[in-house]
Structure 1
């Protein structure tokens, strides 16, 4: 009986000791954890700034060309791949998964290409491959001649459903900056 009472007393003492130790640890760890969180934030901000600086150095605004891809609805076309050519040279290609198609259909925009292009006229060609109406293989291209000047050039490859003829439409749109 006395042994049981002693064990219960020892357990109570141990529980109180753990509670006090946890309170002390929490009090001392709180400023330390705040410092760690501040360091994490600073590291993330520094990483972001470095990525922006790297992109500005690698792709200066006067030679920069960026090409995005978007899809509207996707009822008449399922994208399998896209190949981007600038002046008959392949500069980007991508194979699409079901999840990537879903993201594009829900309004996502993919940055397909970023690179340096000389000033002057350039022919942009995008070749789209996928499944069209009635699950038939479909391969179409869209071409546009753009004039590159000293400002960055941003283009959008658009895949849209044309309900009038129940076919997909492919075009290239230049963004106004």
Structure 2
């Protein structure tokens, strides 16, 4: 029997396992929150089991990510912002070899988090070896309150290691315009 399961089986097990784990967690949570009275030793044991279940769930999610996206074939994209005066972000779309891989609309709370230094993971996926074109479209309100749509593009030469890129939006006080960059992180 092969150690590698077909993709449909891998995906089919994960949601079922997540559903079972969350049902058990909710049951334990309801039981330990006083909906049913339990003696003190049983309550402590339930709390201990609940903590172990949370740790197990975290470990399973990490293992699933490692299996689905091995480090040597991985492409990860992140978004960061250091703007405010010249650009108000509304959405980001990213294409890889002319195929849409991610599209995000932003709420004011998300934009505020990015302004305060947050970094959002936009995409994590597998990428074949070879040359690829990554294009990011930034849509929002630019200088003088006008609709603003700009693109940044980079050619990826994928070899045997994973690739990590940061989509950066930065104010340029010299140009009085926002600047959009795609920066590769060195691993």
Taking the aligned partners of 1:141 and 1:73, their CA distance within structure 2 comes to 16
Taking the aligned partners of 2:115 and 2:171, their CA distance within structure 1 comes to 11
Q: What count of residue pairs does the alignment treat as equivalent?
A: 151
Question: Match of 1:62, SS?
Answer: helix
Q: Alpha-carbon deviations, 1:55-109, whole Å to 9, x = none?
A: 1111111211010111013321111111101111111101111111111111111
1:132 to 142, 152, 161: 142
Deviation at 1:170? 0.1
Q: Alpha-carbon deviations, 1:106-132, whole Å to 9, x = none?
A: 111111111111011111100010001
* Contact 2:80 2:118 (C-alpha < 8 Å) held by counterparts: yes
Once superposed, what is the RMSD of the aligned Cα atoms?
1.5
Q: Which runs of 4+ in 1 moved over 6 A?
A: none
Taking the aligned partners of 1:147 and 1:135, their CA distance within structure 2 comes to 38
Taking the aligned partners of 2:66 and 2:82, their CA distance within structure 1 comes to 31
1:84 to 94, 115, 135: 94
* Contact 1:61 1:150 (C-alpha < 8 Å) held by counterparts: no
In structure 1, the gaps of 5 or more residues are 1-25
In structure 2, the gaps of 5 or more residues are 1-36
Superposed, 1:120-159 pairs within 5 Å as 120-159=130-169
Superposed, 1:67-82 pairs within 5 Å as 67-82=77-92
Deviation at 1:32? 2.4
* Contact 1:121 1:146 (C-alpha < 8 Å) held by counterparts: yes
Say which one has the larger Rg. Answer: 1
Alignment of 1:95 with 2:76, yes or no, is no
Match of 1:105 in 2: 115
* Contact 2:83 2:178 (C-alpha < 8 Å) held by counterparts: no
